[in-house]
Amino acid sequence: MRLITHNMLKCHVKNCSDPDKQFPLRFKGTAGAEEVKLEQIEAERNDEFLVRMLPRLEWGALAITAGELNIPLPDKVPSDPAADDGFLQALHTAILEMHVLEGTMFCNGCGHEYKITKGIPNMLLGEHEI
């Protein structure tokens, strides 16, 4: 799972207590810990796509996640991101090339745990959560 998708993901348990805490899903264990495994797979960079996706990303949440996973990310969005090559490259690496292979995400509100194995998060819910 890449960070671009993680940034779109919130807890989908039906009666998750606090809507403000549903997002972002936090990672268990800090970066470098054994539970979390990352891999970088190179991908083709498309500036137009990155600039278009920028308003859809929640920068605060992305910064939290990147901090948890120890992925380098620029501090803030420059005023003209389309012209800033260094920023775009860093953003591209962070959200489109870094894959989370193993780990556990959990919801801050209800505490539901989503386990990631082989890069595939298990989003199935229990009977009482739907």
Partner 1 sequence: MSRPEHIAPPELFYGEAEAEKYTRNTRIAAIQAEMTLRAVELLNLAEDTPHYLLDIGCGSGLSGEILDEDGHVWAGLDIAPAMLDIAAGKDVEGDLFLHDIGQGMGFRPGTFDGAISISVLQWLCNADKTENRPRYRLQRFFSTLFMALQRGARAVFQFYPENDAQVEMIMGIAMKCGFTGGLVVDYPNSKKARKFYLCLFAGQAAGGHKQELPQGLDGADGAASVAYTQTRIQNPSRGKKPRKPAKNSVEWILHKKELARKRGKEGVPLDSRYTGRKRKPKF
Q: Which of 9, 4, 8, 100 is nearest to 50 (CA)?
A: 4
The answer to whether the beta carbons of residues 116 and 1 sit under 8 Å apart is: yes
Considering only residues 70-129, where is the footprint of partner 1 by CB under 8 A?
Answer: 96, 118-125, 127, 129
- Cα 83 from Cα 105, distance rounded (Å): 34
- Taking the least distance from each CB to partner 1, the nearer of 79 and 124 is 124
Do residues 105 and 26 touch, judged by C-beta distance below 8 A? yes
> Measured from the CB of residue 46, what is the shortest distance to partner 1 in angstroms?
5
Looking at 15, 32, 34, 56, which residue binds partner 1 (CB under 8 A)?
56
Q: CB count, 10 Å around CB of 107?
A: 22
Cβ proximity to partner 1: between 21 and 79 the closer is 21
Does residue 26 interact with partner 1 by CB under 8 A?
A: no
Nearer Cβ to partner 1, position 10 or 79?
10
Binding site for partner 1 (CB under 8 A): 1-2, 4-5, 8-12, 14, 22-23, 43-44, 46, 48-49, 53, 56, 58, 96, 118-125, 127, 129-130
